[in-house]
Amino acid sequence: MIRSRRQFLGEASCAAIGSVSVLSTLLNLKLANQAAASDLTPGEDCKTIVCILLAGGCDTFNLLVRRDAAGHAEYAGSRTNLALASEDLIPLNQAGAGDGNLYGVHPGCQGLADMFNGSGAFAGSGRRLSFVANIGTLVQPTTLADYLGGTVSLPKSLFSHIDQITQWQTSVPQGLGELTGWAGRMADVLHSTYNTGATSMSISLAGNNVFQIGNEVAQFSITDSGALLPTGDTAGLGSTTARKNLAVDGLLTESYNNLMQDAFAKHVKHSHEAQAAFNAVYQSIDDSAIAPLFPNSKIAKQLLAAAKTIKARDALGLRRSTIFIQRGNWDHHGELLVTQAAMLDELAAAISAYQQALEILGVADDVISYTASDFGRTLRSNGRGTDHAWGGNQMVWGGPVDGGKVFGTFPSLALDGPDDVGLGGRLLPSTSIDKFFEEIAAWFGVSSTDMPLILPNIGSFSGEPPVGFIA
């Protein structure tokens, strides 16, 4: 059973503050962290999972498009004024026999096409990216007849942003009494076994998130510039910020008669020390060979920071780590074609630069990255955009990934077709997030015994074949 805890989130702590076990973990985060990390042999069985959350519900049926005549005609018939022309798509050339379909990606995604095809900047490293078609939240295997007949349990509050975005991070679509994320539960199981340093296994570049909430191991928030540390010359007191920092330092070093006040002050102090220890390692990473690859966008800066953090794993004592990144504003009810085009161009350039950086840093074979989003979008146009739906297409990439393939089952895009649950082309997912996460978790080191703790619904999908995207 998952043990419950009360969670208190505070900006000052830069992490989730919870039970005594969480406090004990953070109390060990000292500047001496590097000494503990010396027990780790460089490159020894190190693995990182990076989640990029496309918050808002990305319309991924304009990201991955069939370009064969029959497939594109069906797509264009449903999407009408939002359909991309076949000749504008960047062709994807599937490895091996593929699934029998011809695909292309959005014209703004050349970097993703190169990662899929093993071309351009990836001609030397080979195919690094694949798609998982029509994936989404499911409580149990579900057919269209099941859905229409109401004979199975369905995810809570389908088509709701907050519920679906939470379910992608918890992998418990029916809801949890005590909120934890599947990466947080992995940290509870694996952190003390694999990690010798003091930095948390759960590192976030997007603040507090559900994905990394655990019962024992706290999230560790950083910025795209490194640690969350106050700035200013506290010695010279040359600024208002410096004087405030000195005052805060004084409060944190004070002893308090009240046990709660004293424990909180110590907690925040050690969290501050942990950030300083992390920053000392992070700032020592030479990024001169990779920084010029990255464009000037927020998501690119986050991914550069992720690459540097992954490179710092030996000094941090992290043989296992997860990194959370978020890029929002994908809720395109209006102006889909114009707005999404710019955002996909930005995203593709950032992901391509990030994967190139991992190759240069020599860590590409130890990292799996993937995208998640609230849900897919309706096939039918609302006139200028699309509305909330269910199944969508997601990307997974990295050295361990069997690149250049479309996994899962690409659905029929016919309105009121065999995969449409209605209301404008909402597609019933053919691949559950549980099966997708199961393969990542197994690669990461989660045993079959512990898998139901990480993914409580996985037993419901035991009769289904693996997705198969791990090489």
pLDDT tens digits, one per residue of 191-250? 999 998 879 999 999 999 999 999 999 999 999 999 877 654 445 555 555 555 555 566
Q: Would 3 be classed as within a structural domain?
A: no
Which pLDDT score is estimated for 31? Answer: 31
97 pLDDT tier (thresholds 50, 70, 90): confident
**The amino acid at 80:** T
Integer CA distances (angstroms), 293 to 54, 107, 290, 304, 432, in order: 22, 20, 6, 9, 35
269-278, 402-411, 418-427: range with lowest mean pLDDT:
269-278
Domain coverage including residue 238: 13-461
Q: What is the mean pLDDT of the chain?
A: 87
Q: What is the pLDDT of residues 128-150, one digit of tens each?
A: 999 999 999 999 999 999 999 99
Q: Would 406 be classed as within a structural domain?
A: yes
Q: What is the pLDDT of residues 147-176, one digit of tens each?
A: 999 999 999 999 999 999 999 999 999 998
Q: Would 468 be classed as within a structural domain?
A: no
- Is the pLDDT assigned to residue 19 strictly greater than 50? no
**The amino acid at 223:** T
Q: What is the pLDDT of residues 252-303, one digit of tens each?
A: 566 666 766 656 555 555 667 788 889 999 999 999 999 999 999 999 999 9
Query: d(Cα 425, Cα 142) in Å, to the nearest integer?
Result: 17
Helices and strands (H, E) in the chain, number of each type: 14, 15
DSSP tag of 450 = T
- Is the pLDDT assigned to residue 5 strictly greater than 50? no
- Is the pLDDT assigned to residue 405 strictly greater than 70? yes
Of 243 and 67, the structure prediction assigns the larger pLDDT to: 67
- What pTM value is reported for the model? 0.87
Q: Would 101 be classed as within a structural domain?
A: yes
* Residue ranges in 313-414 assigned as alpha helix (H): 313-316, 336-361
Q: Would 21 be classed as within a structural domain?
A: yes
- Is the pLDDT assigned to residue 27 strictly greater than 80? no
- Is the pLDDT assigned to residue 70 strictly greater than 80? yes
Give me the number of domains the chain comprises: 1
**The amino acid at 21:** S
**How many C-beta atoms surround the C-beta of residue 106 within 10 A?**
24
Q: What are 142's two structure tokens?
A: 């579900």
